[in-house]
Structure 1
Amino acid sequence: MASSRFVVTMLLSFLFLFLLSSPENVAAAPYTSLFSFGDSLADTGNLLHLSPETNRPPHYALPPYGETFFHTPTGRFSDGRVVIDFIADSLGLPFLPPYVGEERNESGRRNFGEGANFAVGGATALDDAFFKKIGLFNLTPNISLDCQLNWFKEMLPTICQSSSECKEFLKSSLVVVGEIGGNDYNHAFLGGISTNFIKSYVPNVVSKIGSVVHELIGLGAVTLLVPGELPKGCSTAYLATFISSNQTDYDPETGCLNWLNDFAKYHNSLLINELNRLQKLHPHATIIYADYYNAAMQFYLTPDTLGFKEGAVVACCGAGGAYNFNASFLCGYPPTKACADPNLYANWDGIHLTEAAYKWLAHGILTGAYTNKNLNIISTSFKATS
């Protein structure tokens, strides 16, 4: 007899396939603008614009990045669209321009009336100074969550001229804060910092996320979506880095590393508590937790059911090995090469997901299957991949 978890996964999978086959409709939602904060899971080009021009472009500025939808690299860390793109599409809004981008209107000013993206690849919740203090010096400076919040404050006067006018404008905005915090741990885990020490500062990371959510509400935001951590123990990069001969380290159903997934669940439990505290403090606002962890776990529990025929933990773009990931050879640089069909994979480059996987995450959030409150978006049909 099938387990109850398998039955739930099958039902969600059928819903996902139904939505993909549904005709495209116009989104009916109370949001006329969209703003995004976070890291490479949401970046639509900020880090690319921040990267200095050199003879060797960053790997994510090279093919095969962007090949599935945009047919050219855009600064997104995927073969195509990421979650924030699908959210924008469902709202009937254009893809979010990176705040650091160069686009200007006829008057020479940038127009963010329908939204902007402040997320930057590699960004952390905590500031650079903290990581320098613990011996990590190779982080990109001035892209932390506080820096992104300062960009947001810098942008607001280009849209609204007074505090009351800005609050009125933000009433109809959806503000997505994250995913953020993952790099606070990634830099440390991959930099050799002990697990116990990393766990000791999880409350600081969560507190920083909470303080930014609190400040955004003070500025006028009333609907905020805050995603949690992905299942870190299922990440291709981590599986390749922390290979263990002890089979008890692995979940027999998924092949994921238990101790890293337990860590991600610990972060998420503290984040949920913080968001509940903030919701009580700001009853007029709607703070929505997006459960990226359990949405993504479906990739690893039943990859075939979701169309990931080549599996969920093997990277599409890499240079070989058990998981097709080697930190010395990043996707975009030789000798790496991409798989023939990224839609058959959940993992793109070892660290980030494919467009197909991000589409699943987006459906889980937009349909309310993996949120604690509904976003009130009626249409969740997306533009077809072209």
Structure 2
Amino acid sequence: MALQLIALSPIVLISSYLPFASPSNFSYPAIFNFGDSNSDTGGLVAGIAFPLGPPNGQTFFLKPSGRFCDGRLTIDFLMDVTGMPFLNPYLDSVGAPNFQTGCNFATGGSTILPAKANSTSPFSFGIQVAQFIQFKTRVHEILAQDKKIQQFLPFEEYFGQGLYMFDIGQNDLDLAFYSKSDDQVLALIPTILAEFEIGMKELYYQGARNFWIHNTGPLGCLPRIIATFGMDQSKLDEIGCVSSHNNAAKLFNSQLHARCVSFQGQFPGANLTYVDIFSIKSNLISNYSQLGFKQSLAACCGYSGLPLNFDNRINCGETKNLNGSFVTAEACNNTAEYVNWDGNHNTEAANLYVSSQILTGKYSESPLLGDSHLLAISEI
């Protein structure tokens, strides 16, 4: 029987999601994640002391958790399905983190291309890959000296058997639009993806075999992007998103898919899955009311009111003097009614919807193989 989650409200989903999960259907002993804020479980906060205070984390963790969200991320829900704990950030050394079932190298603001001096995150994809290599080397060294610490570190075979997840590239496109023409942004995509492929190959040479790649979402539907680039109605599509940014995301995804097919062909030993996050998130934004949401393009935590509730001058949770008055970017009363959390990231409710759709298997493809590693989970 297929997993039926699509028509349920976000609140019902949150309360009923986990009982459907069957850890036995997920065979990976560890997960190693690379990416940006969409899957950052605390890396940027730990790495550069990035200020991410309340109300972030209020829905699930009841306090800031290092996540750019009111609660859990898509990767958190996927970890729940495996029966494994949430991934600890590689950069967080406080609190005796346990890395036995994986490690998270993702950090908010990260790009595929090398970071610049003014980048939000210095931990671009190449750095994350280098951190993984250092992590793997140190694990081998430590285990050779002291087997007692095995309970906190992956078994050596986990590096070959584990799943390597990727959700990165959105920031490369996002940042490019601030300094380049639309055509120049599109022309930059092959360079971005060439850098991504270099990192993928390096991980393969390090023994990685199972790759799980999320394409990028509809960038033009973020409240921040609409507020910045969409004031001219002619630049918006039929659902109110900025066309130029979504077109760039579509081209990026098309070329990413082609790279995945090519990579699979070059390395037959690889087991690669491409996940269409763009379609999942676009469907959510287009059909939000039928899915139990009340706002698709407005930020839950922001300032200025509808339709976007976003002001570039003030971040979620901040209090500032704007035009002579002190104002606060506060959270909405019911986060489950909103798709967007802070103008840039999904709410926990939206992340739950995304994860539920991933688990149906309908949006996952293994190039040249034509199947999905998670199809078994949709038949329970």
TM-score range, shorter chain: 0.7 to 0.9
Alignment of 1:219-368 (within 5 A): 219-247=206-234, 249-252=235-238, 254-309=239-294, 311-321=295-305, 322-334=307-319, 335-368=328-361
Which residue identity does 2:372 align to in structure 1?
N
SS at match of 1:76: coil
Q: Distance in 1 between matches of 2:166 and 2:372?
A: 16
Q: Distance in 1 between matches of 2:314 and 2:230?
A: 18
Q: Distance in 1 between matches of 2:242 and 2:250?
A: 13
Alignment of 1:126-205 (within 5 A): 126-128=113-115, 131=116, 137-140=117-120, 142-160=122-140, 168-178=157-167, 180-189=168-177, 191-205=178-192
Could you tell me the TM-score, scaled by structure 1's length? 0.83
Q: Distance in 2 between matches of 1:218 and 1:363?
A: 32
| Structure 1 vs Structure 2 CA RMSD | 2.5
Which residue identity does 1:250 align to in structure 2?
L
For 1:46, the equivalent position in structure 2 comes to 43
Q: Distance in 1 between matches of 2:159 and 2:225?
A: 39
Structure 1 residue 71 corresponds to structure 2 residue 67: no
Percent identical residues: 34
**CA contact under 8 A between 2:364 and 2:372: conserved in structure 1?**
yes
Q: Distance in 1 between matches of 2:284 and 2:225?
A: 16
1:207 to 1:12, Cα distance in 2 relative to 1, 3 A: farther
1:323 to 1:246, Cα distance in 2 relative to 1, 3 A: closer
Unaligned runs of 5+ in 2: 143-153, 320-327, 366-370
**CA contact under 8 A between 1:318 and 1:325: conserved in structure 2?**
yes
**CA contact under 8 A between 1:13 and 1:305: conserved in structure 2?**
no
For 2:149, the equivalent position in structure 1 comes to none
Q: Distance in 2 between matches of 1:171 and 1:367?
A: 26
Give CA-to-partner distance per residue, 1:252-286, whole Å, 9 cap, x none: 2x222222211110000000000000011111221
**CA contact under 8 A between 2:162 and 2:210: conserved in structure 1?**
yes
**CA contact under 8 A between 2:6 and 2:357: conserved in structure 1?**
no
1:338 to 1:15, Cα distance in 2 relative to 1, 3 A: closer
Q: Distance in 1 between matches of 2:70 and 2:109?
A: 18
SS at match of 1:171: helix
Q: Distance in 2 between matches of 1:353 and 1:182?
A: 14
1:115 to 1:16, Cα distance in 2 relative to 1, 3 A: farther
Q: Distance in 2 between matches of 1:281 and 1:13?
A: 37
Q: Distance in 2 between matches of 1:83 and 1:141?
A: 21
SS at match of 1:14: coil
1:188 to 1:195, Cα distance in 2 relative to 1, 3 A: same
Q: Distance in 2 between matches of 1:292 and 1:16?
A: 20
Unaligned runs of 5+ in 1: 1-10, 132-136, 382-386
Higher strand share: 2
Q: Distance in 1 between matches of 2:156 and 2:269?
A: 13
Give CA-to-partner distance per residue, 1:88-138, whole Å, 9 cap, x none: 111111100010102465xxxx6422101000111110012xx5xxxxx52
1:377 to 1:371, Cα distance in 2 relative to 1, 3 A: closer
Which residue identity does 2:105 align to in structure 1?
F
Which residue identity does 1:157 align to in structure 2?
T
C-alpha displacement of 1:145: 0.4
Q: Distance in 1 between matches of 2:119 and 2:242?
A: 26
Aligned length: 347
For 2:74, the equivalent position in structure 1 comes to 83
SS at match of 2:227: helix
SS at match of 1:320: coil
C-alpha displacement of 1:193: 2.8
Which residue identity does 1:149 align to in structure 2?
V
**CA contact under 8 A between 1:156 and 1:166: conserved in structure 2?**
no
1:72 to 1:195, Cα distance in 2 relative to 1, 3 A: same
1:24 to 1:364, Cα distance in 2 relative to 1, 3 A: closer
SS at match of 2:6: helix
For 2:372, the equivalent position in structure 1 comes to 374
Structure 1 residue 218 corresponds to structure 2 residue 218: no
Give CA-to-partner distance per residue, 1:127-178, whole Å, 9 cap, x none: 12xx5xxxxx52135311010001100111343469xx98732232111022
C-alpha displacement of 1:236: 1.1
Which residue identity does 1:264 align to in structure 2?
A
For 1:98, the equivalent position in structure 2 comes to 89
C-alpha displacement of 1:367: 2.2
Could you tell me the TM-score, scaled by structure 2's length? 0.85
C-alpha displacement of 1:50: 1.7
C-alpha displacement of 1:300: 1.7
Q: Distance in 2 between matches of 1:245 and 1:72?
A: 38
1:342 to 1:34, Cα distance in 2 relative to 1, 3 A: same
For 1:134, the equivalent position in structure 2 comes to none
